[in-house]
Amino acid sequence: MSARPLILVTNDDGITAPGLRTLISVMNLIGDVVVVAPDSPQSAMGHAITINSTLHMEKVIIDGKQPEYSCSGTPADCVKLAVNEILDRRPDICVSGINHGSNSSINVIYSGTMSAALEAGIESIPAIGFSLLDYNWNANFEHCKTFVETITRQVLENGLPDGVVLNVNIPNLEKNAIKGIKVCRQARANWKEEFDKRTNPMGRDYYWLSGKFVNMDKGEDTDEWALENGYVSVVPVHFDLTAHHAIQNLNTWKLNN
Amino acid sequence: MSARPLILVTNDDGITAPGLRTLISVMNLIGDVVVVAPDSPQSAMGHAITINSTLHMEKVIIDGKQPEYSCSGTPADCVKLAVNEILDRRPDICVSGINHGSNSSINVIYSGTMSAALEAGIESIPAIGFSLLDYNWNANFEHCKTFVETITRQVLENGLPDGVVLNVNIPNLEKNAIKGIKVCRQARANWKEEFDKRTNPMGRDYYWLSGKFVNMDKGEDTDEWALENGYVSVVPVHFDLTAHHAIQNLNTWKLNN
């Protein structure tokens, strides 16, 4: 590692998003920053990658303080392009966000912000996804800065196990109303969908996806509990989806007769 | 459960894909089939959902043997629409595929096929994603049928733990060259990206994402080992991404000073 760490910054709300600008401002306190972010919003893209069409990227100047690249792909594409085409050495850390809206519990699986962090994890780069519990474009990210800085410095100091990345969610509260940072597990929750069915001017039906978040998990060690109780939640996540606890039982099935 | 189970069938290669047609033909032996699948290929869509644009669906007739709906969204959207708007009761099982190409090891995270199965899992519906290790549109799925039928019947008979779904990959071998079905964990592997950089007729650079699959995991309990050694691999997967093994160590960090 050079004197200053090399920090790859990305997000899923697009390169002009205020949450990304806040994240960049904190990272400039810590190391040398390179930004590679989508040229347009990519929320809810999950871990999509672009294999059936081409990717473009452009070097852009936004505030002139660090190199920035605007990319036509998904957040996972941005990390792949950064690592393989843009950076001349491996970044010491990849940070994604600050997302406009929650990526707690089940949201992690739909999240473009977290897919960028996981993609870095797949490449064995320590990574963090940050999200603020406020979906507004003009959300106030000011109180996030101290938590973002503390957690990033701790990751750089302590490292992370290979393939593990952090999912950090920050409550939308006044800074001194936040009680602290809490390490958690992902709550078991889901979205109870309510499709909004409409008819277009040509008489054809269409749908808007909407829904209500339902937390079925009352555990006090979960991210949902932490957020409801005024803590910043930190969940270590990985890309090994194996349900190891189910293997023993499956081995009793009649699969080979 | 009625006398015959209600089976939701989907995929990510689109409603006309030969792999889907094979899956439907097997499911018609087992229960009452409803097909809700994307109207166009959605490979590598990960767990994307459609929140910033509208969704359309059409009832279509393809072979006339079962109700079929063609949907403008992602595989995860198809499952949400099926459960909330199309089916009048919860399906007893959701099957996705048969994918044209592998979804073993790290591919699970990029896979539209598996995102449909995981979305069903989120809704507490038992689910299976099936994939054949052949990317060709005209792949021969004939030898898959017996494995697909056996595994589906075993899931219906035994059930699955809440939120657990199966990731099934089938080698591209003659039927009697396949040694059997093996329950596995996901191998630690990744893609070593090699972007193919080109210049378009207007002089602008663009990239094709390509790469080489690298298996770093020599374990004989992995899906990659099973597939290389002539077995059908079955990995139970879930959507709890928490790296539980990392929590204890994170609790020793200086996060709250």
* Span A64-84, pLDDT tens digits: 899 999 999 899 999 999 999
**CB within 8 Å: A85 and B197:** yes
Q: What is the CATH number of the domain that holds B73?
A: 3.40.1210.10
Q: Residue B22 falls within a domain, yes or no?
A: yes
Please name the amino acid found at residue A94. C
State how far residue B105 is from chain A, nearest Cα, in angstroms. 8
Q: Residue A136 falls within a domain, yes or no?
A: yes
Q: Residue A58 falls within a domain, yes or no?
A: yes
DSSP-H helix ranges across chain B: 18-30, 75-81, 112-122, 145-158, 223-228, 244-250
Q: Residue A201 falls within a domain, yes or no?
A: no
Which residues constitute the domain of residue B243? 6-188+218-250
**CB within 8 Å: B180 and A256:** yes
Q: Residue A193 falls within a domain, yes or no?
A: no
Model ipTM value: 0.91
State how far residue B63 is from chain A, nearest Cα, in angstroms. 24
Q: Residue B11 falls within a domain, yes or no?
A: yes
* Residue entry with tokens 């004939």: B142
Q: Residue A192 falls within a domain, yes or no?
A: no
Listing DSSP states for B147-195 in one string gives: HHHHHHHHHHHH---TT-EEEEEE-SS-GGG--EEEE-B---EEEEE--
Q: Residue A52 falls within a domain, yes or no?
A: yes
State how far residue B132 is from chain A, nearest Cα, in angstroms. 18
Q: What Cα–Cα distance (Å) separates residue A240 from each residue in A125, A189, B99, B108?
A: 16, 20, 21, 9
Q: What is the mean pLDDT of each run of 10 residues along chain B (257 residues)?
A: 86 96 98 96 78 87 94 93 94 97 94 95 97 95 97 98 97 95 96 88 87 92 98 97 96 93
What's the number of domains chain B is made of?
A: 1
Residue A2 in this model has a pLDDT that exceeds 80: no
Residue A1 pLDDT? 47
* Span A126-166, pLDDT tens digits: 999 999 999 999 999 999 999 999 999 999 999 999 999 99
**CB within 8 Å: B206 and A56:** yes
Residues A97-106 have a mean pLDDT of 96
**CB within 8 Å: B239 and A237:** no
